[in-house]
Amino acid sequence: MKTSKVMLLLGLLLLMVIPSTIFAQSENQRPAYITVTTGHWNMDYENFNREKWIAVEKEFLDKVAKKNEFIIRSFVFLHRFTPDNTEIIFVNTYSSWDNIDKASQRNNELAKEAWPDEAKREEYFKKRNAYYADTHSDEIYVPIAGAKMLAPSDKEMIWLVVKGHFAFPEDGSRKEFDTLSKEYLDNVINKNEYIKGYYQHGHAWGADRTEYVRAFVIESMGDLDKMGKRSTELFKEHWPDEAKRKEFGKKMGKYFTGKHGDYIYTSVPELTK
């Protein structure tokens, strides 16, 4: 890869961290990294009961994750429409790279405090781990500016995750990308009443450094089509001239390969920090 493309890669993925005004003023409330662990259900688990599983995971959430000062937020998502129905997604956010490691160490400490008796601690984790297969994968992302923050809610939400890829054009620049992205976010995403939350992430550590992830949060599956139609309406309202729309699309499109995949998940509000 040429030097210019390397610099653009750094500009797009490492420097476009969400600005402080989007989050609370405390440094500890400002995500700088997001870990995504894709686990899988143990398909041989007999007599699976969703409520019992939630109760087991909530015990860990209440006794460990919620008390871990190095984890800002945590979420759990279940397969809705993805290529793999065994998927279960665990997401955590952190204010620094160092806090990822510190959070892991703190989890171990809090687990020992919650279950001081070693036999009982092993019994709990054996029960918890029995729900999952041994295989999993991990990715680490950096937030990209332009989040539409989801209001706190105790209801299940639909998360449409679109995984695309950056193209790193020779004639591109961070300034142009930021300007184009902000214009679209301000006039389409933020004005779309069906989009309750929106997040952009770039690769930090994992299998594919070109990965660009967008997450659209909506209230129901029925709102998916409405969201798309409304975005099209807003796009045409902001760029009423067809030639201008095509010009914008050409400028923005050069930053992406055009290849993407769509995944739909359901949040588990009971397991949210």
What is the value of pTM for the model shown?
0.87
**What pLDDT score does 150 carry?**
92
| Cβ atoms of residues 205 and 142 within 8 Å | no
Q: How does strand 73-81 pair with strand 87-94?
A: antiparallel
Q: How many Å apart are CA 68 and CA 65, to the nearest integer?
A: 5
- Which residue intervals of the chain bear CATH 3.30.70.100? 3-17+142-271, 27-137
User: In tens digits, what is the pLDDT along the chain, a chain of 273 residues?
Assistant: 333 443 344 344 433 333 333 333 344 466 999 999 999 999 999 999 999 999 999 999 999 999 999 999 999 999 999 999 999 999 999 999 999 999 999 999 999 999 999 999 999 999 999 999 999 999 999 999 889 999 888 999 999 999 999 999 999 999 999 999 999 999 999 999 999 999 999 999 988 989 999 999 999 999 999 999 999 999 999 999 999 999 999 999 999 999 999 999 999 999 999
CATH fold, domain 27-137, is: Alpha-Beta Plaits (3.30.70)
**What pLDDT score does 43 carry?**
96
CATH fold, domain 3-17+142-271, is: Alpha-Beta Plaits (3.30.70)
